[in-house]
Amino acid sequence: MDDDIVIVGGGQSKFGKRKGLGIRELAFEAVSDLMNDFNMGIEDIDASVIGIAGEEFSGQGAPAAVVVDEIGMVGKPTIRVESACATGSAGIKTAYGWIKAGFYDTVMVVGVEKMTSVSSARATELMARAGDVRWESPYGCSFPGYYAIMASAHMKEYGTTKEMLSSVGVKAHHYGSLNPKAHIQKEVSLEEAVNSIPIAYPLNLYDCSLISDGAAAVVLTKASLAKKYTDSPVRIKGVGSGSDTMEIAHRKSLTSLSGAKEAARRAYKMAGVTAKDIDVAEVHDCFTIAEIIATEDLGFFEPGQGGPAALDGQTYIGGKIPINVDGGLKSKGHPLGATGVSQANEIRNQLLGKSYNRQVEGAKIGLSHNVGQSGQFVNVMIYDRV
C-alpha cells in the first residue's frame, strides 16, 4: 500500500485539426505511440481510465466505450472521468488512487477530445456552458470573457501590460515551432501578437488557446513492478487538488485562483519540495493571463511579477523556470480531455532527457498544473526520477 506510483510509458497523437479522424482513431494513435515507448502489451494492463470532457463535440454518447473498444481494453474495468479542461489530470489522479487503494496494479489513462467537428462558434458555445448557465453564459460570457476579466483586473492591480501578455504567446509559439506534435508550428513576433485581432479586451488572437483534436496516454503502476516494463520510471511524487466558486463574481480575488494555490500547497507538501526545487513546469495557459497567474499561484514569482518575468524571458529554457516548452495549450493545442495527460507525458519526457531540441538540461523535478473551467477544478502534480 505504501508503494510509490510511477509512470512507465507515455504517448501522444498529433494535436490539430485532424480531419477524418474521430475519438477512436485519435485515442488509437496515442496508445500506439505509447506501446512503441516501452516493453508492455495491452494484456499487461489491468484497467483503464478514459478522460473525455464533452460529448457534443464528437456527437457520441458514452464516448469512453468506443475508445475502450478501439484500444483493445474490452472486458477489463474502465471508467470515464470529466472535470472540464482538467479532465486529463483527473484521469491520472483516478488511476493513482485505484493503484494506491489496491484495486489494480497497472492502469492506462487515455485523454481524448475531438473538437473541430463543430464550428468555432458552436465550440465556444458548448464550452461557455461550463460557466454558470443561470447567471453567466446566458448573458454572453464565454471563457475568453472570463479570462479577459482576470486580465483586466491583473492589469489594474499590478500594472501588467499587453506586451507582457503577448510575450507569453510569443514563447508558446517559439517552442510550438519545435514540437512536431503541436497544432501550430510557427514563430510569432511580439509586434504581431500585440497587434493581432482582438478577441475579448485585452486578449488578442495570440492570447488564446486553440480548439484542437488530439489524444494522449500514460500508464501508471507500482514502483515495485516498474522494472518489468522500463528502466526509467518517473514517479508521481506529489498530488494536490483545489476548487473555487462556480461564479467568478463570488470570488475574493480576480488576480489569482484560490484552487490553484491550494492544489500547489498540497502537492508541494506531499512531495516534500518547494517552488524553488522545480526544474521545469507545464501550466494551464488556456489564455496568456492564465500562465502569468499560474506562475504566481505556484510560487515561481511574487504576485504581480509573473508578467514582467514573462517579458524578461525568465520562463524560457535557460531562465529561472522553463514553462510550457512544448508550446503549451496556446501553440501545442488544447483538446480538453487530452491536455492534462499530455502535460504529464511532456514532463516525463523532460525528466528522461527525451525532449530533444526543447530539452531542459539536467531537469530532475517537474510540475504540471491543469485547470478546469475558470478555476473550479485544479490539479497540480509533481514528478521526479526514481
Examine the residue annotation and report whether 208 is marked as an active-site residue of this protein.
Answer: no
Which is the catalytic residue, given 85, 141, 208, 286? 85
Examine the residue annotation and report whether 85 is marked as an active-site residue of this protein.
Answer: yes
Which is the catalytic residue, given 154, 174, 334, 369? 334
Q: Angle at CA 53, nearest 5°, toward 52 and 59?
A: 80
- How many residues belong to the chain? 386
Q: Catalogue the active-site residues.
A: 85, 334
